[in-house]
Structure formats: structure tokens, C-alpha cells
A = this chain, B = another copy of it.
Amino acid sequence: MDQIRLLFLGTGAALPSPRRMLPALALILDGQVALFDCSEGTQMRMQQAGLSPARIRHIFISHLHGDHLFGLPGLITSQHLLKRSEPLYIFGPVELDLFLQTVHQVTQHQASFPVVVVPCTPQAEQIWTLEGFSVQSLPLDHGPACFGYRFIEHDRPGKFDADRARDLGVPNNDLRTALIHGETVEWNGRRIRPEEVVGPAQRGRTIAYCTDTRPCENVRILARDADVLVHESTFHPDQEMLAQETGHSTSRQAAESAVAAGCRQLYLYHISGRQDDQSEMEMLESARSIFPATEMPQDYDCYSVLVREPL
């Protein structure tokens, strides 16, 4: 099974700081990159990390606050200059289209490739089936229209062992198809079970990306049984009232959502620049006291998403 890696290109919030740049997360799967949010400087940090912007096929924008958005025009321009030809799909609030159209109008610059804006609707769940994975979106509770995403790697059927099938004398016809689909067959008076010729199916991994938001039901739906939850953690548990007022979460609330959703790993993300070493350590500890499998990545940290046990 292919590796899935999460490369944290920026882990801060609102104001860039030397500690943490503004939010962007690259999900690297099978040679392609899905980008979640695109703050100012994302393309530079990708370059710094040795990740070509040309590999991005899909971009998922949570909402249209500048710290999640303002790297998009430069990224598209650079892809144009790098002679991209394949389409780029950008998911997010519907006003993304006006933003990008105005950028194109004002800069008199038309990308050499199709830029397809796919609007998320605040009314309902949406699921898009893409190449090798699906993505589900649901509105979060931030203030302006803001969407969380659930990235779902497709399950893969077990690998058919042609050598073993030949040794068992299974002919190359409908019997093989039946075995691949999990049926037991009879051939030459012998019962052949699918597991004799088909390897274990591989279970797809799921990654939930939830920022910016107060704790809410849709976070728990998006992160249900997920391998990874990347959740905003703007504030310290002592700042819960501030978080509530501004449409954000504390580290403790992020951990509570991870527990409620039954996910496996939590990454605290979108850390306010008001935090220092001490308060960040306290935030991490408060989350781990509730959900031990918690990390608070730094910019440029990269994590593999482990393959789950076979189905």
C-alpha cells in the first residue's frame, strides 16, 4: 500500500510569526499532493521542503480568511509559469470563484490550465469521488462559511495470486472473477476458498481536517473512526471563553472531539501566535491528558499515516 504522508507547511494562525507560519497542510499520496488551505508563502515552504507545486492536483480551502487563502494566487501563477497543463481542482466556499476571477482580471493573467472551483454547500454533506480517494465536506462552526474535510482513501481489493491459482488448476474464466469477489468456488471436485488465491483487502485510511471551528457535531462526523484528525487548537484551555467568542477551540476541546469521534491520532494545528513555549507545552499536555495520541507539529514536520489492519 502506498505511503500517505502529512507535511505540515504552516501550523500557526492569523499572524505569521517566526515560531509558526500560517496554516497549510500537504497530504502526499502516491506521487500526488492534496493541499489543505493555502496561506501566504505556502509555495515557498513547499519549495523549501523539496515538494514541487506541480504535484498538487486538489486544493481544499476551509474558509476565506486570509491566513487560509492568500497563497493561492501565487501558487496558481507559479504552476502556470512551470507550464502545468492538467486541471487544478479547488474546493471551498463559493466566493472562491469571484476571488480567483478578480485576480485573473486584475493581473491580466490567464492560467495555461483549467482552474476548476468546486463550491462546498453549507446546506448539506457533499462527497466527491476522486482518483484513489473520496472527500467529504461538512460545514463547521466558525462564523463565516467554513468547511471541514474528511479524506477517505479507497479500500483496495486483495491482490489475486495468479501463480497460486495456476498451481490449483483454476482456469482463467468466471471462476477467477468469483474468487476475486470473495466467493468460494468448486473446481475438479475441490472447494477453493477465496483466501487461498486472494491476498487480504487493504483498508483505506481516513484523515479529517477541521479548522477553524468551535467544537461541533460535524467535527465528530468528519473524524468518526478516522486514522488522523488534524484539528485547530488556537487557544490554551484557560482561554476557552475567548475561543468561544472568536469561533475557535482550545487544545482540550480538540482532544475531547478526538475522543468523541473515536479517531486514532490527533494533530493540534492552527496555534495562535500569542502562545509561547510554556503555554504550548501546557496545551499539548492538557490534550494528552484526555487523548494520549496527540502531537503538536512544528512547521515542516512530516508524519506517515500508518496502514490499518486488513479488513
- Is A78 part of the binding interface, using a Cβ–Cβ cutoff of 8 Å? yes
Cβ contacts under 8 Å, A14 to chain B: 81
Cross-chain contact A65 with B107 (CB below 8 angstroms): yes
Q: Pick the residue among B44, B81, B95 that contacts A106 (CB under 8 A).
A: B95
A137 to B264, CA, bound (A): 59
Q: Which residues of A (61-90) have their CB < 8 Å from a CB of B?
A: 64-67, 69-71, 73-74, 77-78, 81-82
Q: Enumerate chain A interface residues (CB-CB to B < 8 A).
A: 14-18, 21-22, 40-41, 43-44, 47-48, 64-67, 69-71, 73-74, 77-78, 81-82, 95-96, 98-99, 102-103, 105-109, 144
Minimum CB distance partner of A93 in chain B: B106
- Provide 11 A-B residue pairs closer than 8 Å at the C-beta atoms, listed in order of the A residue: A18-B47, A21-B44, A40-B40, A40-B70, A41-B41, A65-B109, A66-B73, A69-B107, A70-B74, A96-B106, A108-B144
Cβ contacts under 8 Å, A108 to chain B: 64, 144
Cβ contacts under 8 Å, A71 to chain B: 40
Question: A166 CB to closest chain B CB, in angstroms?
Answer: 54
Question: A96 CB to closest chain B CB, in angstroms?
Answer: 8
A15 to B99, CA, bound (A): 21
Q: Pick the residue among B67, B74, B99 that contacts A66 (CB under 8 A).
A: B74
Cβ contacts under 8 Å, A77 to chain B: 66-67, 70
A48 to B12, CA, bound (A): 16
The 8 closest A-B pairs by CB, nearest first: A102-B102, A40-B74, A66-B77, A99-B106, A70-B74, A41-B41, A95-B106, A70-B73
Cross-chain contact A102 with B107 (CB below 8 angstroms): no
A95 to B81, CA, bound (A): 23
Cβ contacts under 8 Å, A70 to chain B: 40, 70, 73-74, 77
Question: A6 CB to closest chain B CB, in angstroms?
Answer: 23
Minimum CB distance partner of A108 in chain B: B144
A71 to B106, CA, bound (A): 15
A22 to B73, CA, bound (A): 14
A48 to B19, CA, bound (A): 11
Cross-chain contact A99 with B103 (CB below 8 angstroms): yes
Question: A185 CB to closest chain B CB, in angstroms?
Answer: 58
Cβ contacts under 8 Å, A103 to chain B: 66, 99
A244 to B196, CA, bound (A): 70
Cβ contacts under 8 Å, A21 to chain B: 44
Cβ contacts under 8 Å, A144 to chain B: 108
Cβ contacts under 8 Å, A106 to chain B: 64, 95-96, 98-99
Minimum CB distance partner of A16 in chain B: B44
A81 to B105, CA, bound (A): 28
A108 to B107, CA, bound (A): 22
Cβ contacts under 8 Å, A95 to chain B: 105-106
